[in-house]
Amino acid sequence: MIRTRFAPSPTGYLHVGGLRTALYCYLFAKKNKGRFLLRIEDTDRERFVEGALENLIDTLAWVGISYDEGPYIQSQRTEIYREHVQKLIDSGQAYRCFCTKERLDEMRENQTKMKMAPMYDRKCLDLPESEIQEKTKAGEKFVVRQKMPYELIKFKDLIRGNVQFDGKTIDDQVLMKSDGFPTYHLANVVDDHLMEITHVIRGEEWLPSTPKHIALYKAFGWQPPEFAHLPLLLNADRSKLSKRQGDVSVEDYIKKGYLKEAIINFVAFLGWNPGGGEEAEIFSLEELEEAFSIEKVHKAGAIFNLEKLDWFNWRWKKRLFNLELEKIAKEIDPQVNITSGRKDQLNFVFSKPENEKEFITTRGKKLLAMCNNLLPKEYSSDESKLLKALVTIEEKILKDPKETLAHLNFYFRLSDYPQELLTHVKMGVDLNRAAASLKAGKEDLEKLENWNLQTLRETLMKTVSRLGVKNGQIFWPLRAALSGLEFSPGVFELAWVLGKEETLKRIELAANKI
């Protein structure tokens, strides 16, 4: 059975890179019907941060990543590591080192001056047992170092392919510190073996540690797991993602109001892409479980693009909001079969005018809750108009509620606009065509008694047919007249929101400009 683990250190709030590692480990296990474990590697007591463990667990729960086993706490397993390090000492694969900090500093300084890579010189490797016993009895502090094999260490990384290191260039790492706590390297390997981890998925920064770990597996006589090293997360300037250039903890983005669905979706695409373009990038956690493949994780660093996160957040707001729409539609008409497309939403309202009030009340009030404190009080004096108006600019609100007023103002305050706005060369709308279209549209709308989206569309489509012109030659000047803007909702929606009196008034104002 496939078994993966996420093994963070509680040295701060969960980093977005850590969330990506957890997510990929989780998805790989779920895709392969395996198990996902959580292990807390807290043996570095000097860097331990109070509250970090609780934040880690809470954040994983918030985004929906559940673990099948754990959390295992390494600081509660120290006796296990001591037993295993003693086995390495007994087999000659590790040794006690009594060198002081001062000697080690001097050694490294001399090596640097000689342009050598700083490495332990193995002074304590062959100490006689009698000297070891004497130093131990005297209370001299020591660490336990791994005896690195001087041989070529090879392995196949699931992302990077064949990798090899020369054992002679790798330091005799410390396995057990003088305080009796294991280092990351020892505890990591021992736990991965005892917990039967089959695949170690972690960040690229751990790649240089892999030969040390493989050597440890060999020293114990164990079969190593498969390794996959994820690409680095980079800033836009391709420097390594760091706090100096912006927020890096998941907590920061939660506080800013990003949806958990957007965060997970965004993080999944930091180094992985199933292909298919932008429209094939929206995945729920459940959908990611089906789609994820380690083979499609990239080698190159992944750019942390906040604009992309904003895009995911907007798309997810739309998706979740449209799911609510489908629920509303079903409550109004259990027989309706509605998709999430904007056209289908409006067609639902077009199809049965009697549904309009309930639909707009429910839909509009949800939108109003997002931006109510940003709107002038006078806009609420005509609630029906306001709710309809909000529905027509729904996508703008979902993208950025703070911009609502800018997209809404024209419904309540028509600004002065140039005559040229009523024309459109590519559509074949000159001033004469605009004048004729405004006149015909006004005449037909004046006769309309039942003012709703369906009847407005039917009426203006008949206007197009009566004049024998293209849709845009009628709709462009009318839309410009009603909004005073180059870009706005469609003409049916504008007239529907403004109501008959205001619509005819604005068309008359436009006609007077020509």
- 37-81 confidence digits (pLDDT tens): 999 999 877 777 888 899 999 999 999 999 999 999 999 999 999
Hey, CA dihedral for 390, 394, 398, 404, is it positive or negative? negative
| Same domain membership, residue 469 and residue 350 | no
Asked if residue 268 lies in contact with residue 288, where contact means CB atoms within 8 angstroms, the answer is yes
The lowest-confidence range among 3-17, 136-150, 179-193, 347-361 is 347-361
Q: Considering the candidates 123, 141, 243, 330, report the single residue annotated as catalytic.
A: 243
Structure tokens at 347: 């067609």
Question: Which one of 165, 196, 230 terminates a domain?
Answer: 230
| Same domain membership, residue 140 and residue 114 | yes
Q: Give domain status of residue 309, yes or no.
A: no
**66: region left, alpha or beta (phi > 0 left; psi from -120 to 50 alpha):** beta
Best CA proximity match to 390, nearest among 409, 377, 373: 409
The pLDDT, as a whole number, for residue 247 is 65
- What domain range includes position 482? 419-513
Q: Using CA atoms, how far apart are residues 495 and 451, in angstroms rounded to an integer?
A: 9
Is residue 105 very low, low, confident or very high in pLDDT (cuts 50, 70, 90)? Answer: very high
- 261-316 confidence digits (pLDDT tens): 999 999 999 999 987 766 679 999 999 999 999 999 999 999 899 999 999 998 99
Mean pLDDT for the chain overall = 91
Alpha carbon 496 to chain centroid distance?
38
Q: How far is CA 94 from CA 174, 211, 219, 220, in A?
A: 9, 16, 9, 11
Q: Using CA atoms, how far apart are residues 338 and 56, in angstroms rounded to an integer?
A: 39
Higher pLDDT, 482 or 364: 482
pTM of the model as a whole: 0.79
What is the arithmetic mean of pLDDT over 108-121? 93
- 209-239 confidence digits (pLDDT tens): 999 999 999 999 999 999 999 999 988 888 8
The pLDDT, as a whole number, for residue 44 is 78
The pLDDT, as a whole number, for residue 228 is 98
Is residue 347 very low, low, confident or very high in pLDDT (cuts 50, 70, 90)? Answer: low
Decide if pLDDT at 344 tops 70: no
| Same domain membership, residue 262 and residue 284 | yes
Can the peptide bond before residue 211 be classed as cis, meaning omega within 30 degrees of 0? no
| Same domain membership, residue 223 and residue 83 | yes
| Same domain membership, residue 49 and residue 29 | yes
What is the CATH classification number for the domain harbouring 474?
1.10.10.350
- 3-24 confidence digits (pLDDT tens): 999 999 988 899 999 999 999 9
The pLDDT, as a whole number, for residue 372 is 84
The pLDDT, as a whole number, for residue 352 is 66
Q: Give domain status of residue 274, yes or no.
A: yes
| Same domain membership, residue 199 and residue 81 | yes
Question: Which one of 204, 230, 256 terminates a domain?
Answer: 230
Decide if pLDDT at 248 tops 90: no
Is residue 337 very low, low, confident or very high in pLDDT (cuts 50, 70, 90)? Answer: low
Local structure of 358: helix, strand or coil: helix
Q: Give domain status of residue 312, yes or no.
A: no
What is the arithmetic mean of pLDDT over 466-482? 96
| Same domain membership, residue 180 and residue 254 | no
Higher pLDDT, 445 or 399: 445
The pLDDT, as a whole number, for residue 128 is 95
Decide if pLDDT at 494 tops 80: yes
Amino acid at 380: S
What is the CATH classification number for the domain harbouring 58?
3.40.50.620
Active site residue 218: no
Amino acid at 447: K
| Same domain membership, residue 156 and residue 100 | yes
| Same domain membership, residue 27 and residue 112 | no
Is residue 348 very low, low, confident or very high in pLDDT (cuts 50, 70, 90)? Answer: low
Alpha carbon 40 to chain centroid distance?
23
What is the arithmetic mean of pLDDT over 324-346? 64
User: In percent, how much of the chain has pLDDT > 90?
Assistant: 76
| Same domain membership, residue 269 and residue 371 | no
What is the arithmetic mean of pLDDT over 341-349? 60
Q: Using CA atoms, how far apart are residues 514 and 512, in angstroms rounded to an integer?
A: 5
Hey, CA dihedral for 151, 155, 160, 162, is it positive or negative? positive
Give how many domains the chain has, as a whole number.
4
What is the arithmetic mean of pLDDT over 341-356? 63
Best CA proximity match to 199, nearest among 222, 223, 228: 228
